[in-house]
Homo-oligomer: A and B are copies of this chain.
Amino acid sequence: MLNYMVERGAHLDAVFHALADPTRRSMLGRLAERELTIGELATPFHMSFAGASKHVRVLENAGLVKRTIRGRSHLCRLEAARLAEADAWLKRYERFWTANLDRLEALLREEDRAKAKSKSKSATE
């Protein structure tokens, strides 16, 4: 749906998909140190040039990499904004692994639910 695309989550689909591949994560890792051309990005993996090029495009489409063409070589640089979005999404679950205070909070919510049995809730994704 268009609403979904605009409102929220569309980026996350692409970003998480892009991150779900070790080759791509490795590329991002190298780009975190310096800007690299497609060729430089390709060399560490025993993979065809075109193969690496496709990985870069996935990263680009997810907004994780931006490319500037200079002459015949394409320079890639890391673009972190979308990573920040992914991080923000994960943060919503932070309390589940920071624990401790959680046990308490869980108990409180338990009490809350016991008291107010009437409400129905909407799944905010």
A123 on the B face (CB < 8 A): yes
A111 on the B face (CB < 8 A): no
Contacts of A29 in B (CB 8 A): 92, 123-125
How many copies of this chain sit in the oligomeric assembly?
A: 2
Of the listed residues A25, A44, A81, A109, the one surrounded by the most CB atoms of chain B closer than 10 A to its CB is: A25
Interface residue tally of chain A, by bracket? 35 or more
Complex Cα–Cα for A22 and B93 (A): 16
Give chain A interface residues in 65-116, CB to chain B under 8 Å: 78, 80-81, 83-84, 86-87, 89-94, 96-97, 109, 113
Give chain A interface residues in 1-47, CB to chain B under 8 Å: 4, 9, 12-13, 16-17, 19-22, 25-26, 28-30, 32-34, 44
Complex Cα–Cα for A82 and B87 (A): 14
A117 on the B face (CB < 8 A): no
The answer to whether B20 and A20 touch across the interface, beta carbons within 8 angstroms, is yes
Contacts of A96 in B (CB 8 A): 32, 78, 80, 83
Interface, chain A (partner B; CB < 8 A): 4, 9, 12-13, 16-17, 19-22, 25-26, 28-30, 32-34, 44, 78, 80-81, 83-84, 86-87, 89-94, 96-97, 109, 113, 121, 123-125
